[in-house]
Structure 1
Amino acid sequence: MDSSVLASANTMGQLQQKLDGISNNLANSDTTGYKRRESTFSDMLFQQVDNHSEPRDQTGRLTPDGLRVGTGASIAQTAIRLEQGALQETGRELDFAITEKNNFFQVESMTNGEAETQYTRDGSFYLSENPEEEDAWTLVNNQGDYVLDADGERMDVPAGASNFNLGEDGTLQATLDDGEEVEVGEMGMARITKPQLLEGTDGNNFRLPDLDELDLEEADVLEFVAGEESQLIQGSLEKSNVDMGQSMTDMINTQRNYSFNARAISQGDQMMGLVNSIRG
Structure 2
Amino acid sequence: MMRALYTSATGMMAQQLNMDVIANNLANVNTTGFKRSRADFQDLLYQEMRPAGTVVAQGAQAPTGVEVGLGVKTGATETMFDQGTFQNTGNKLDVAIEGDGFYKVLLPDGSTGYTRDGAFKRDSQGKLVNSDGMAIQPEITIPSTATDIAIGKDGTVSVTEAGNSTPQTIGKITLTQFSNPAGLKHLGGNNFAATDASGSPVDGTAGQGGFGTLSQGILEMSNVQIVQEMVNMITAQRAYETNSKSIQTADEMLQTANQLKH
Question: Given the two structures, how large is their TM-score scaled by the length of structure 1?
Answer: 0.84
Task: Return 5+ residue gaps in structure 1 as ranges.
Answer: 131-136
Identity of aligned residues (%): 32
CA distance in 1, matches of 2:183, 2:192: 10
Q: How does 1:235-254 map to 2 (within 5 A)?
A: 235-254=217-236
1:109, CA displacement in angstroms? 1.4
Q: Over residues 37-69 of structure 1, what are the superposed CA-to-partner deviations in whole Å (9 max), with x where a residue is unaligned?
A: 1111110111112299761399797x8332x21
Contact 1:167 1:228 in 2 (8 A): no
**Aligned letter for 1:236?**
I
Cα pair distance change 1:275/1:115, threshold 3 Å? same
Q: Over residues 96-137 of structure 1, what are the superposed CA-to-partner deviations in whole Å (9 max), with x where a residue is unaligned?
A: 110113x01111111xxx21211111111001113xxxxxx1
1:122 and 2:117 aligned: yes
Alignment coverage as a number of residue pairs = 257
Q: How does 1:225-244 map to 2 (within 5 A)?
A: 225-228=204-207, 231-244=213-226
Task: Return 5+ residue gaps in structure 2 as ranges.
Answer: none
Cα pair distance change 1:270/1:157, threshold 3 Å? same
Q: How does 1:79-118 map to 2 (within 5 A)?
A: 79-101=78-100, 103-110=101-108, 114-118=109-113
CA distance in 1, matches of 2:75, 2:223: 22
Q: How does 1:138-157 map to 2 (within 5 A)?
A: 138-148=127-137, 153-157=138-142
CA distance in 1, matches of 2:28, 2:189: 11
1:169, CA displacement in angstroms? 4.3
Corresponding residue of 1:160: 145
1:145, CA displacement in angstroms? 1.4
Corresponding residue of 1:69: 68
Counterpart of 2:223 in 1: which secondary structure?
coil
1:173 and 2:158 aligned: yes
Cα pair distance change 1:18/1:202, threshold 3 Å? same
Instruction: Name which of 260, 267, 270 aligns with 2:242.
Output: 260
Counterpart of 2:123 in 1: which secondary structure?
strand
Corresponding residue of 1:133: none
Contact 1:96 1:237 in 2 (8 A): yes
Cα pair distance change 1:277/1:32, threshold 3 Å? same
Corresponding residue of 1:19: 19
**Aligned letter for 1:143?**
D
Corresponding residue of 2:28: 28
1:225, CA displacement in angstroms? 1.2
CA distance in 2, matches of 1:45, 1:198: 29
1:46 and 2:41 aligned: no
After TM superposition, the structure 1 stretch with the greater mean CA deviation from structure 2, 169-178 or 139-148, is: 169-178
After TM superposition, the structure 1 stretch with the greater mean CA deviation from structure 2, 165-174 or 12-21, is: 165-174
Contact 1:14 1:74 in 2 (8 A): yes
Cα pair distance change 1:179/1:58, threshold 3 Å? farther
CA distance in 1, matches of 2:241, 2:149: 55
1:2, CA displacement in angstroms? 2.3
Question: Given the two structures, how large is their TM-score scaled by the length of structure 2?
Answer: 0.89
